[in-house]
Amino acid sequence: MQTTEQGAPQRLYAYSVREFDGADGKKGRAWTRIGVAFPHKDGTGFNVEVHSFPLDGRIVLFPVDSEAHDEEPAEAPPAPAPSRNGNPRRR
């Protein structure tokens, strides 16, 4: 992982993580990148740019070079059924 002069990570990706039940009955996770965090120039904190907000309010941060969380899960969660006005219904 690349770091700043103060040892802080250069950048972190922000993810929303949703758990779902797969077709085989096993739990799965969908990782959606929703933003980025990067350190202030003086190294004392981070700026966070979020492009969407998770429904549960939880944001997970990982270093940019962490490949384990860049990939989508093998099986996507089922899409919510549309409502009468065409918007997906929340469960």
Q: What is the pLDDT of residue 8?
A: 54
Residue bearing the bigger pLDDT, 41 or 86 = 41
Does any domain span residue 47?
yes
Does any domain span residue 4?
no
45, 4 in Cβ contact below 8 A? no
Q: Show the domain range for 44.
A: 12-69
Q: 0.75 cut: is pTM over it? A: no
Does any domain span residue 80?
no
Does any domain span residue 46?
yes
Q: What is the pLDDT of residue 43?
A: 80
Q: What is the pLDDT of residue 64?
A: 84
Does any domain span residue 82?
no
> Could you write out the DSSP letters of every residue in the chain?
--B-TTS-BS-EEEEEEEEEE-TTS-EEEEEEEEEEEEE-TTSS-EEEEESS--TT---EEEETT-GGGTSPPSSPPPPPPB-TTSSBPP-
Does any domain span residue 62?
yes
pLDDT at 71 exceeding the cut of 80: no
pLDDT digits (tens, 9 = 90+) for 9-60: 589 999 999 999 999 989 999 999 999 999 988 888 999 999 999 988 999 9
Q: What is the pLDDT of residue 79?
A: 43
* CA dist., res. 41 & res. 16, Å (int): 26
Q: Which two tokens stand for residue 62?
A: 């990982």
Does any domain span residue 90?
no
Please state the domain count of the chain.
Answer: 1
Does any domain span residue 77?
no
